[in-house]
């Protein structure tokens, strides 16, 4: 790791990939796009990100999207390249804040581009983190649009200090996005397989008045998906894909 200034870092291992026949995850960080070299785009203008992936063998890829220089609060979405129609929320952005987030997606053999739009003028930076290479594409399922499986804004705050079950036991490892909102105090929330229990790590750290989000990879086969929060907060869980 490299930091431009003195800072404390906390790194949590949330899982690992065991080799399986015909499947490989290749990690290779490459900067694909930086709009700061092209000028800030206005709202609803499409960012086109070209990828050099072999769609015949690459089932999917993981990228890190960083939003900087937003002039106002807004949202960045993945979009249909031809029309600019939003199909997947990536991150909320706020003036004066840098918002990075990781996302995974399935490669379309007909068009391996990634396209994004923002509801407010913002600079976007895209780094390719790794690719899924497989002759078993059925193992990786990425939804065309994320599925919102939990939103506690309609049921009440997650109570602090107690493990709560978010989802029942499933049949796959879920790729999702966890968003916190409505916090009245600084805190954290951890999301984990229920049978594994809380491991003393956090998934999202938040402050009052500002929603916060992070990507999560959690095995729903181990008793379902659970969460633990240090302070009352609303949780939103969007599932973007699954690995079997």
Q: What is the DSSP string of 76-97?
A: EEEE-TTT--EEEEEEEE-TT-
As a whole-number percent, the residues of the chain with pLDDT over 90 amount to 15
Alpha carbon distances (Å) from 163 to 41, 121, 127, 178: 43, 39, 35, 16
Q: What does the pLDDT read at residue 231?
A: 94
Q: How many helices (H) and strands (E) does the chain have?
A: 0, 16
Number of domains in the chain: 2
- Among residues 135, 166, 201, the one where a domain terminates is 135
Is residue 6 in some structural domain? no
| Residues 50 and 108 occupy one common structural domain | yes
- Residue 32 pLDDT greater than 70, yes or no: yes
CA atoms of 71 and 123, how far apart (whole Å): 10
Average pLDDT for the chain: 80
| Residues 191 and 150 occupy one common structural domain | yes
Q: What does the pLDDT read at residue 82?
A: 80
Is residue 12 in some structural domain? no
Task: Please give the residue range of the domain that contains residue 238.
Answer: 140-243
- Residue 112 pLDDT greater than 60, yes or no: yes
Assign 229 a pLDDT band (cuts: 50, 70, 90). Answer: very high
* pTM score above 0.85: no
Q: What is the mean pLDDT of residues 60-67?
A: 82
- Among residues 90, 115, 135, the one where a domain terminates is 135
Is residue 2 in some structural domain? no
- Among residues 109, 135, 161, the one where a domain terminates is 135
pLDDT in tens, 137-174: 556 666 656 788 889 999 999 989 989 898 899 888 88
> How many residues does the structure list for the chain?
244
C-beta atoms surrounding 151 within 10 Å = 14
pLDDT in tens, 180-214: 999 989 999 999 999 988 888 888 888 898 888 88
Q: What does the pLDDT read at residue 186?
A: 93
Considering only 10-19, 26-35, 88-97, which range has the smallest mean pLDDT?
10-19
Minimal CA–CA distance to 70: which of 106, 113, 99?
Answer: 99
What are the structure tokens assigned to 155, written together? 């049921």
Is residue 162 in some structural domain? yes
Q: What does the pLDDT read at residue 143?
A: 66
């Amino acid at each position: 790791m490299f930091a431009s200034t003195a800072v404390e870092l906390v790194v949590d291992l949330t899982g690992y990939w065991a080799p399986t026949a015909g499947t490989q995850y290749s990690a290779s960080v490459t900067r694909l796009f930086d709009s700061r070299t092209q000028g800030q785009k206005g709202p609803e203008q499409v960012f086109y990100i070209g990828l050099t992936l072999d769609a015949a063998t690459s089932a999917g890829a993981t990228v890190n999207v960083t939003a900087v220089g937003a002039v106002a609060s807004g949202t960045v979405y993945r979009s249909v390249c031809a029309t600019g129609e939003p199909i997947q929320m990536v991150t909320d952005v706020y003036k004066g804040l840098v918002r990075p987030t990781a996302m995974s997606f399935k490669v379309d053999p007909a068009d391996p581009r990634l396209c994004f739009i923002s509801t407010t003028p913002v600079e976007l930076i895209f780094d390719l983190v790794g690719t899924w290479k497989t002759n078993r594409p059925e193992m990786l399922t990425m939804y065309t649009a994320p599925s919102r499986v939990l939103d506690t804004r309609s049921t009440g705050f997650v109570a602090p200090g107690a493990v709560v079950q978010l989802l029942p036991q499933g049949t796959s490892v879920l790729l999702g996005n966890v968003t916190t909102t409505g916090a009245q105090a600084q805190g954290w929330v951890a999301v984990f397989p229920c049978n594994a229990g809380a491991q003393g790590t956090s998934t999202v750290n938040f402050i009052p008045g500002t929603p916060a989000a992070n990507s999560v990879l959690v095995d729903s086969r181990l008793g379902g998906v659970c969460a633990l929060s240090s302070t009352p907060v609303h949780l939103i869980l969007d599932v973007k894909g699954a690995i079997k």
